[in-house]
Amino acid sequence: MSGRRLKFILYIVITDYYVVTNPLSESPAILPSIRSAIASTLAKMAEQRTIMFSGSPLNRLSWLRTSHSFLNAIVPSPKAHWLLFKSGNPLTVKTETKSSLSYLSTKDVAPFIGEAPYFGQGKTSGILAADEQISATEAVRHRGAPIVFLGLHETGSSGTGALPSSEFADAEKALEKIEGAPYFALDVTDLELEDEAIEAALKETEPAKSGSTLAWLDSRSVMMNTDLFNGAIFAEARSMCDWNSRNKFCAGCGARQHSMWGGWKLGCSTLMPWADNTGRKPCPSGKGLHNYTHPRSDPVVIMLAVDQSGEKILLGQNNRFKGKFYSALAGFIEPGETFEDAVKREIWEEAGVKVWDVQYHSGQPWPFPASLMCGFYARADSTKPVRTDLDNELADARWFSREEVMTVLKHATGSYLDLAKLAEASSQLSNDPNEPPFRVPPTTAIAGVLIKDWAEGKVQFPPFSLTPKGNL
Ligand SMILES: [Zn+2]
């Protein structure tokens, strides 16, 4: 048995004893090493856990995004998988009972991606930009809807997806070494095509000709209709298509901007070698890094406060989902805050509760449109009052016992499954004795994972201390 594992078991024994016998006393001297053991164990748990939308199976090959030689060479791959979106909703194959993501071939998407070259486009249609080493034209796509290169699903065992960009001077030779399927995404909304033309083109695709029914699926229903592999690809694709689609003008100077780097950068049209900038001030995006030219992930803290006994958690009912739906509290991280600061501020603002001992649990990309949910537990004192009248974001917040939560988790409909229909369903809840007393999110959402892991006793804390730490 390793020293660390022994230390952790010792911690559990000591903590159980400590909490039972003296729950409100100060932390013992052993605390720093205990904290370290807990942090290490939680980190290991987070690594082993796979949460919907996380754990991407693709090698993103991000260092090759600037190479139009690479990107243009793999677009025609017979193994290419294209995930199409329309206004953020993915194309799916629909059956009577289920919808699953539909991947199209490069041949199928030809009407949507336009003519070659797809990346590194020059001033004139059909001509490559003269030199891909000029940063303004690196894998630029200023003609046609943005195409996002999601990555390569490697099927070979040789790891040849790790090719250096220099090898793509001879793209065809380099491609021979790549084993696997490239994945791309594209949103058809901004194409100069009428809806009828889009639908007609879809009817000519291989899946449609083989008898499949293709349909755009409400994006929030995807998590109920997919597995972890496809969920992770969808999350990356949706966030990236959305980001490209909603940033058509340069935040630095207001000029049109276009897609670059296989959809992973936006470039200002005033920076193109052929731009006529007479009378314009230089665009600030021409120098340095800018958070409006690179994709964004907006971090959100989502957390459960666990009380001094370890037997109660604080859950809130959002104003938008009134009824019997309770979930973890959450909020965006603000500039100038750490994760811990945001956890403390949000629980205070929404429920009037002060917390400490903030501990990371796991994360979940949330592509609606670009959030990164960061899951935490924190310690709090449930003998203190709860109040929701500070920011009035919650209709209710209260402490629930492990027994109450377990009753809901064991109930057939206790973890509500369809977030898209949540508001409607919650308002329809009645006093039917067959209904659960309240509902919590499913484990496809990180809030559901936090609740379930705590309820099943998988969460441990250092000994409870009455002295709040941190800035509240
Ligand atoms: Zn600009």
- Kindly tell me if the per-residue pLDDT of 50 is higher than 90: no
* Over residues 296-318, mean pLDDT: 96
Burial of 268 (0-12, 13-18, 19+ CB in 10 A): buried
153-185 residue pLDDT tens: 988 665 556 677 777 777 777 777 788 899 999
Integer CA distances (angstroms), 8 to 14, 30, 208, 311, in order: 10, 12, 56, 20
Structure tokens at 71: 């990107």
* 250 CA distance to ligand 1 middle (Å): 5
Asked whether residue 403 carries a pLDDT value surpassing 60, the answer given is yes
Average pLDDT over residues 299-305: 98
**From ligand 1's centre to the CA of 256, what distance in Å?**
8
Q: Does 196 have pLDDT greater than 90?
A: yes
Helices (H), 391-444: 402-410, 422-427
- pTM summary value: 0.85
Centre of ligand 1 to C-alpha 289, Å, is: 13
Please report the pLDDT score of residue 42 as a whole number. 59
Looking at this protein, which amino acid is placed at residue 43?
Answer: A
- How far apart are the CA of 241 and the centre of ligand 1, in A? 20
Interval between CA 293 and ligand 1 midpoint (Å)? 10
pLDDT for position 36:
64
As a whole number, mean pLDDT of residues 61-75 equals 92
Q: How confident is the model at residue 35 (pLDDT cuts 50, 70, 90)?
A: low
CA 323 to chain centre: 27
**C-alpha to C-alpha distance for 218 and 229, rounded to whole angstroms:** 19
Q: Does residue 241 carry a pLDDT above 60?
A: yes
Output helix, strand, coil percentages for the chain, rounded to the nearest 5: 35, 20, 45
ω before 369 within 30° of 0 (cis)? yes
Structure tokens at 359: 């501990």
Q: What's the confidence (pLDDT) of residue 111?
A: 96
Share of residues in the chain with pLDDT > 70 (%): 82
356 within 8 A of 307, measured Cβ to Cβ: no
SS3 56: coil
Considering only residues 407 and 34, tell me which one the structure prediction assigns the higher pLDDT. 407
Output 286-290 pairs: Cβ under 8 A, ≥24 positions apart.
290/251, 290/252
**How far is ligand 1, taken at its centre, from the CA of residue 140, in Å?**
15
* pLDDT tens, residue by residue, 448-465: 999 999 999 998 877 766
Give residue 26's pLDDT.
34
Tell which wins on pLDDT, 363 or 416. 363
pLDDT at 303: 98
Find the 208 Cα to ligand 1 centroid distance in Å.
42
pLDDT of residue 48: 57
Q: Which range is least confidently modeled, 39-53, 119-133, 231-245, 284-298?
A: 39-53
State phi, psi for 310 to the nearest 5 degrees.
Answer: 80, 0
In this prediction, residue 21 carries a pLDDT of: 28
Side chain identity at residue 375, one-letter code:
G
Report d(CA 25, CA 186) in Å as an integer: 58
* Interval 74-115: pLDDT, tens: 999 999 999 999 999 999 999 988 899 999 999 999 999 999
Q: Strand 265-268 relative to strand 257-260: parallel, antiparallel, unpaired? A: antiparallel
Q: Is-contact 435 413, C-beta < 8 A?
A: yes
> 419 in helix, strand or coil?
helix
Instruction: With cut-offs at 50, 70 and 90, classify the pLDDT of residue 399.
Output: very high
Expressed in angstroms and rounded, the spacing between residue 291 Cα and the centre of ligand 1 is 13
Q: 119: CA distance to ligand 1 center in Å?
A: 20
What is the chain's mean pLDDT, rounded? 85
Of all residues in the chain, the percent with pLDDT exceeding 90 is 65
Residue 320 confidence (pLDDT): 79
Which protein residues have their CB within 5 A of the ion that is ligand 1? 250, 252-253, 255, 268, 283, 285
Ligand 1: centre distance to CA 371 (Å): 25
Q: How far is the CA of 188 from the centre of ligand 1 (A)?
A: 25
Q: Cα(4)–Cα(429) distance, rounded to whole angstroms?
A: 48
Give me the mean pLDDT over the 15-39 stretch: 42
Instruction: Report the separation in Å between the CA atom of 286 and the middle of ligand 1, taken as the mean of its atom positions.
Output: 7
Q: What is the pLDDT of residue 434?
A: 79
Buried b (16+ CB within 10 A) or exposed e, 223-261: bbbbebebbbbbbbbbbbbbbbbebeebbbbebebbbbb
466, with CB counted inside 10 A (0-12, 13-18, 19+), is exposed
* pLDDT over 90 (residue 294): yes
- 273-285 tens-digit pLDDT: 999 999 999 999 9
DSSP H/E element including 316: strand 312-318
Highest-scoring range by mean pLDDT, 22-36, 348-362, 456-470: 348-362
In this predicted structure, what is the pLDDT of residue 46? Answer: 56
Taking the centre of ligand 1 as the mean of its atom positions, its distance from the CA of residue 267, in whole angstroms, is 8
Per-residue pLDDT, 424: 52
Beta-carbon contacts of 320 under 8 Å, excluding residues fewer than 6 positions away, are: 423
Please give the distance, rounded to the nearest whole angstrom, from the Cα atom of residue 120 to the centre of ligand 1.
19
Q: Give tens-digit pLDDT for 138-150.
A: 999 999 999 999 9
